Amino acid sequence: MKKSLVLFVVLLGSLALAGTVFAMDWGCYGMPTVKMPPCKDRVLCKGSAKGMEKLCGPCAPVIKWAGKWMTIEKCPAGAVKVAKKAKK
């Protein structure tokens, strides 16, 4: 009985502490403003593939497929973009 009462008090105390942490207004702590470094959009990966596949079965058709992809790293909104250098 004594151990369960101590365990109950410890559990209740930890829940009360967690409740006060979540109840705090964290909006009063202002985040520092950071100037974003200049950036530019970059192409990380480009690729393409094509092929032919025969489907299963005695009268199955052969299908042709092709695809292209490109992965781009975009600058976040509000970032200063680097101007492209003009080639002479």
Encoded amino acid at 73, one letter: E
Residue 81 pLDDT class (50, 70, 90 cuts)? confident
CA atoms within 13 A on the CB side of 37: 1
Residue 75 pLDDT class (50, 70, 90 cuts)? confident
Residue 47 pLDDT class (50, 70, 90 cuts)? very high
Contacts of 54 (CB under 8 A, 6+ apart): 60, 61, 62
Q: pTM for this structure? A: 0.40
Q: Which two tokens stand for residue 87?
A: 């080639």
Cα Dmax for the chain: 87
Contacts of 63 (CB under 8 A, 6+ apart): 52, 53, 55
Q: How much is the average pLDDT of 11-23?
A: 82
